[in-house]
Structure 1
Amino acid sequence: MPDAVVVGAGHNGLVAANLLADAGWDVVVVEANSAPGGAVRSDESVRPGFVTDLFSAFYPLGAASPVLDGLDLPAYGVRWVHAPAVVSHVLPDDRAATLYRELDRTAASLEAFAPGDGAVWRAMYAEFERIREPLLDALFTPFPPVRPALRLLRRLGAADALRLARFGLTPVRRAGEERFAGAGAPLLLAGNALHTDLPPEGAGSALYGWLLAMLGQQVGFPVPVGGSGRITEALLARLLARGGQLRTGARAVRIGIGADGADAVVLESGERIAARRAVLADVAAPALYRDLVGLDRLPARLADDVHAFEWDMATLKVNWALDAPIRWTAEAARDAGTVHLGVDLDGLTHYAADLATKHIPHQPFVVLGQMTTADPTRSPAGTESAWAYTHLPARRTEYRPEEIAEHVERVEAVIERHAPGFGGSVLARSVQAPADLQAADANLRAGAINAGTASLHQQLIFRPVPGLARSETPIERLYLAGASAHPGGGVHGGPGANAARAALGRDGLRGRARAALVNAAHRRIYR
C-alpha cells in the first residue's frame, strides 16, 4: 500500500509526487493518458524534424517559481534558453512595442511611442524589484500567505501597500492611462493580461499584466532546449530516482472514502489502489468533486458552488512547420519569442467583448510563438517551428468544422498582413480546436487553459469555490493539486506543491490539529 496516490501526471501532479517522495513517502501516480505531462508536452507530429509544443510553451512563471527552482530540474536535463527579444506587440499600423530582458532596450522601444514612457517603465520595474521576493513568496504560499504578506507590508510601508492594493484591483486600461502617455507600454501590459481571460476593463487585469511583463523584463520568457516535454521528462526522472511510480493508461473514476477520509483511488479497470496517508488530485475542481467524489457525497451548498464554477475562455491553437523564419515587416518582431498581433488596445476591448457576448471575434487577438527563434534545436537551420493561439467563446466544447476553418483563416490573414509571404512558407500545419485540446488533456475543458477564470470572483478565497482557497478539501486526506486551486494556472508547480505540503503537514499532533481546524471551517461554510 503506497502512502499516497496522485491522480494525474500533469506537471502539478509530478511536482506533488516529487515533494512527497523527498519526504520519504511511497508514491504512485496514475495517469489516464498513455504518456505523462498534461499540458506540458511536445512532439514532432506536425512534421518530422520540427518540435512542436502541443500546449504550454514559454515559462516566465516557471523561471521565477521557487517550487521548480527547489527541484533542481537542470540536474535532470532541463536547459533554459531565450529568444533575443521577449515579446513584441505589433499594432495594426505595424509599429511594435517590444519587451527585452535588457531594460535600456525596452525603455527605448516605449520611448518611441511617447517621450517619458521609457522612464516610467524603468520606475515601474524598480517598484517590482523592491517587492519581488515577498510578492512571489505570497503568490506561491498556501492561502492566506501571512508571513510573506507581513514582509511585503514591512518593505512597502502602509501608504505604498495601500497603493499596491489599489493597483491590484485596477483594470489594465485604467492603469495604462494613469502612468503612460503612449500606446506601447499599455499594450504590453494588456496583452500579457490576456494570457488569461482578463479583459482590459476587468478588475485585477493590471496586476496580472504587470506581473507577467515584469517577470519578462527580469527573467524573460524562457523555453527548455528540445521542447516543453523536457520539463515533464525531468520531473519524471527525478520522481523515479526517489522510488516513485507512474502508471499510464490508468484512468481514475472514483475516490474511495472511508471513516478517516480519502483512502483509495478506483481505476476504470475496477482496480482499487489503497492509500495509507493521502490522495492528491491534479485535476480540475469540477472533475474532482463531480466525477471522482460525486456531488451526492458533498454538502449541498458545495455542490451548488461546483455547478457555478466558471471556466476560462476556449482556445484555438494552430501549429506550423515553416521553411523560413517569419519575415515581419515590423523588424522588432523578428527577434521576439512571443508576438502579439491583430489589434490595438481598443481592439483588445472589442475582442474581449465578443468573447463575453458569445460571438466569435472577427478581429482576433493572436499570441504567436516563434520557437526556433528561441531555441534553434526546434527545427532545421533556416526554418521555423511556430504556433499561434486565440480564444473563442466558452460556450461549448464542439465547434462546427467550418467555424474552426474560418477562424484559422482569420488568424493566418492577420499574420499575412504583417508578414507578407507567410502562407507560402508553410510546409505543414496542424489545428487544435477546443475539442482536440480537451481530448488530449481532460483538464483543458473546451480548450480552457487556466482551469477556471482568473477573474477576481474566482481567485484567492474564492478559488475554486468560496471558502476552499487552500488545497485541503471538505474530505479529510483528499487534496486538490491542480490549477483550479490557488495560485492557479501557469507552469510553476504552486498548486502541486501546496497540496503536497498540506498532506505532509497533517502528520504529527500539530498537523492533525491544523487539519481538524480546516475541516471544521469547511463544515461551517457548507452546513
Structure 2
Amino acid sequence: MAGDPDAIVIGSGPNGLVAACMLARAGLRVLVCEANPRRWGGALGSEEGTLPGFVHDVGAAFFPFPRISPAFRALDLEKQGVELCFAEFDSCHPAPDGSVACISRDLDLAARHFGDPRDGETFAALARWYRGVEPAVLGILLNTLPTLSPVLKLLPFGIFKLARILLSSGAGLARRLFRGEAARRVMPGLALHVDVGPRDPLGAALGFMLGMTATTGGYSIPRGGAQALADAMVADLRRHGGEIRLASRVERILTEGRRAVGVRLADGTELRAARRAVLADTAAASLLLDLVARDLVPARVVRFMERFPQGWGTFKVDWALSSPVPWSVPEARRAAVVHAGDSLDDLERFTAQVRRGELPDNPYLVIGQQSLFDPTRAPAGKHTLWAYSRVPSHPPGGWQAHADAFADRLDARIEGLAPGFRSTVLARRIVAPPDLEAMDANLVGGDLGGGSNAWHRQLVFRPLFPYFRHRMPVEGLYLCSSYAHPGAGVHGMCGYNAAQIVLRDLG
C-alpha cells in the first residue's frame, strides 16, 4: 500500500475482517494487522490438528448467520466462492435414556422428531412465527443501538410475544412451552454455548435465538473448513484495495492529544492512519489497559477493565476417527451438531459445578460432525469429530494436571451415547483454555463469548456504558470485537456496526 492507510484494523477475526471489508468497500484504504504469523481469521480457522488429511476447525465451526446476518449478506460470501454444506438435522439432543429432540430447517421433520409429538407441533408453530418476524428481530438484536425502526415493525402484538420470551429464564421458557424433558432441554442447552445457565434471569434469549436461527439459516458447514469464510473475506478486502499483514502484533495505540492516529508494532514499526481511524478486534480489557496509555482512559473505566467479567473457559477436543460415531439414536447420525445434556436438572447441575470452579463430572458437550457432510475434512472413509465443554478457566492445580483426565471424561460421555466410539479413535488433540488463549489473545481464559453474556452484560452495558456504540474513550478509536454489542457469535455485526459508526464519524 503506497502511503499511509486511511484506517487500521487490529486483529483479523471475523469482526475485524467484516469491518475492514466494509470500510474498503466505502473507498477507504484499509490495513489489517494480525499477530498470528501463519494465518488470518483468529478463532475462525482450520488446520490439520491430529493426523495428516484430517482438517479440524480451530474454534467456530457451525454458522447460522452466513445467509441471514446483514453483515454477511452485504459481503455475499457464497457468491465469492464459499460453499455451505447442510445436514438433515441441524441440531440433535439425545440422552442416555434414548429420548431425543432434533431441530431441522424442515419444520415438518422437526415436528416429528422433537420429543413428544405435541411438543413438536409447539416448536414448529413457534418457528413458523419466528420466520415471519426474523428480519425485525435480528434488526432489534444485532444492529447498533438504539434500534427503534425494527421494534415498530413488530407492533402491536409481536413485540409483546417476543418480550415475554426474552424476559424469561431458559428453564422457565422451556417449562412453559413444552411438556416433555427431551424438548425442555433443547434451548437451555443451546444457551450453554456461552455462560448462560437454565435458571439465569432473562437467560432465554440466547437459547431461543440459536434454536430459531437453526430453523432459518441452519447450522451451515463451510466446505473445506471454517477457514474458507476468513479467506473469502480477505480476498474481498484485497479486491477493494485493502491489505493484511501477518506477524504484526500491535503493542500500542499511537495518539496525538486525545486522538488515536496509528499503532506501534511489537518490532517497533509505527503505522499511521491518515484518516485517524483505528478499529480494535481485541478484548476490551486488553485494548483499554494494555494498548492505550492509562492516562487517556477514565479512572472508572480502568477500574472496571481491571475486573472485567469474562465468561467461562472452554475445553475442546478434536478426534480423527476410523468411521462415523456409532450413535445409539439414529437421528444423531444425521445431525451437524449433537448436544449432550441429559435434562434440565443435569444442565443446572453442570452450570452450578462450573460456577463453583469445579470440573463437571457429567460435562455438557457441543459435538460437531463436519466430515459427515463435508467429505473434504478427512481421508476417504475416515472422519473428524470436534467437541467442547464449558469449564472454569483456572481449575485448582492448573490445566496441565487435569487436561488428559478431563479429555477422557469427554470420551466417556460420548461413549455413553455411542457405544463403541472409543474403538473408532485414531488420534486425539486436547485444546485446554490456555491453549485457546495462546492461539487467539481475545479468548481470555478460553472464553469464546467476548466476556460474560449474562443479561446485565448486554445491550448498553456491553462492554460498559456509555461506550456501547463502539466509540472508545480515545477519539478515533473503536472497539469492533465480540466484546462490543451485539456480542458472541460469528455474525460479523460487531465489525459491521463499528464500520458504520466510523464512516459516519468520517463524514
Q: Give per-residue Cα distances to partners, 1:21-67, cap 9 Å, x unaligned.
A: 11111111111111211010001121111111011100013332111
Q: Aligned to 1:13, which of 16, 29, 48?
A: 16
SS of equivalent to 2:50: strand
**Alignment of 1:23 onto 2:26:** yes
CA contact (8 A) 1:306 1:465 kept: no
Tell me: CA distance 1:115–1:59, structure 2 relative to 1, closer, same or farther (3 Å): closer
Q: Aligned to 2:36, which of 33, 42, 63?
A: 33
Letter of the 2:54 counterpart = F
Alignment partner, residue 250 of structure 1: 248
Task: Give runs of aligned pairs for residues 426-437 of structure 1, distance below 5 A.
Answer: 426-437=425-436
Letter of the 1:223 counterpart = I
CA contact (8 A) 1:368 1:387 kept: yes
Q: Aligned to 2:64, which of 60, 63, 73?
A: 60
Tell me: CA distance 1:397–1:306, structure 2 relative to 1, closer, same or farther (3 Å): farther
**Alignment of 1:118 onto 2:105:** no
Alignment partner, residue 522 of structure 1: none
Looking at structure 2, the residues matched to 59 and 164 of structure 1 have their Cα atoms a distance apart, in angstroms, of 23
Q: Give per-residue Cα distances to partners, 1:185-236, cap 9 Å, x unaligned.
A: 2211111111121100012321211111111112210011100000011011
Letter of the 2:424 counterpart = S
SS of equivalent to 2:9: strand
SS of equivalent to 1:60: coil
Q: Which has the higher helix share?
A: 1
Alignment partner, residue 93 of structure 1: 97
**Alignment of 1:79 onto 2:78:** no
Of 141-150 and 192-201, the range deviating more from structure 2: 141-150
Looking at structure 2, the residues matched to 303 and 417 of structure 1 have their Cα atoms a distance apart, in angstroms, of 47
Letter of the 1:206 counterpart = A
Shift of 1:131: 1.4
SS of equivalent to 1:139: helix
Q: Aligned to 2:170, which of 169, 172, 190?
A: 172
CA contact (8 A) 1:320 1:426 kept: yes
Looking at structure 1, the residues matched to 488 and 66 of structure 2 have their Cα atoms a distance apart, in angstroms, of 11
Q: Aligned to 1:203, which of 201, 204, 226?
A: 201
CA contact (8 A) 1:172 1:186 kept: no
**Alignment of 1:3 onto 2:26:** no
SS of equivalent to 1:61: coil
Q: Give per-residue Cα distances to partners, 1:123-165, cap 9 Å, x unaligned.
A: 211221221111112222111112222223x3xx1x5423422
Q: Normalised by the size of structure 2, how large is the TM-score?
A: 0.96
Looking at structure 2, the residues matched to 31 and 126 of structure 1 have their Cα atoms a distance apart, in angstroms, of 42
CA contact (8 A) 2:66 2:217 kept: no
Looking at structure 1, the residues matched to 129 and 201 of structure 2 have their Cα atoms a distance apart, in angstroms, of 21
CA contact (8 A) 2:185 2:341 kept: no
Alignment partner, residue 304 of structure 1: 303
Q: RMSD value over aligned CA atoms?
A: 1.5
CA contact (8 A) 1:170 1:204 kept: yes
CA contact (8 A) 1:396 1:446 kept: no
CA contact (8 A) 2:316 2:387 kept: yes
Alignment partner, residue 459 of structure 2: 460
Looking at structure 2, the residues matched to 279 and 315 of structure 1 have their Cα atoms a distance apart, in angstroms, of 30
Shift of 1:342: 4.7
Looking at structure 2, the residues matched to 109 and 115 of structure 1 have their Cα atoms a distance apart, in angstroms, of 8
Shift of 1:402: 2.9
Q: Aligned to 2:137, which of 132, 135, 138?
A: 135
Letter of the 2:225 counterpart = G
Letter of the 1:298 counterpart = V
Q: Aligned to 1:220, which of 208, 218, 221?
A: 218
CA contact (8 A) 1:342 1:414 kept: no
Looking at structure 2, the residues matched to 72 and 127 of structure 1 have their Cα atoms a distance apart, in angstroms, of 26
Letter of the 1:162 counterpart = F
CA contact (8 A) 2:36 2:246 kept: yes
Alignment partner, residue 393 of structure 1: 392
CA contact (8 A) 2:337 2:369 kept: yes
Percentage identity across aligned positions? 39
Looking at structure 1, the residues matched to 78 and 430 of structure 2 have their Cα atoms a distance apart, in angstroms, of 32
Alignment partner, residue 525 of structure 1: none
Alignment partner, residue 50 of structure 1: 54
Letter of the 1:499 counterpart = A
Alignment partner, residue 109 of structure 2: 105
CA contact (8 A) 2:182 2:343 kept: no
For structure 2, the 5+ residue unaligned runs are none
Of 101-110 and 349-358, the range deviating more from structure 2: 101-110
Shift of 1:397: 11
Q: Give per-residue Cα distances to partners, 1:224-280, cap 9 Å, x unaligned.
A: 110000001101111111111111101101111113611110111111111122000
Letter of the 2:43 counterpart = A
Q: What is the aligned residue count?
A: 502
Shift of 1:399: 2.5
Looking at structure 2, the residues matched to 372 and 397 of structure 1 have their Cα atoms a distance apart, in angstroms, of 36
Letter of the 1:3 counterpart = D
Letter of the 1:12 counterpart = N
**Alignment of 1:287 onto 2:291:** no
Looking at structure 2, the residues matched to 284 and 20 of structure 1 have their Cα atoms a distance apart, in angstroms, of 21
Alignment partner, residue 152 of structure 2: 150
Alignment partner, residue 514 of structure 1: none
Looking at structure 2, the residues matched to 387 and 281 of structure 1 have their Cα atoms a distance apart, in angstroms, of 29
Alignment partner, residue 267 of structure 2: 269
Alignment partner, residue 518 of structure 1: none
Tell me: CA distance 1:287–1:260, structure 2 relative to 1, closer, same or farther (3 Å): closer
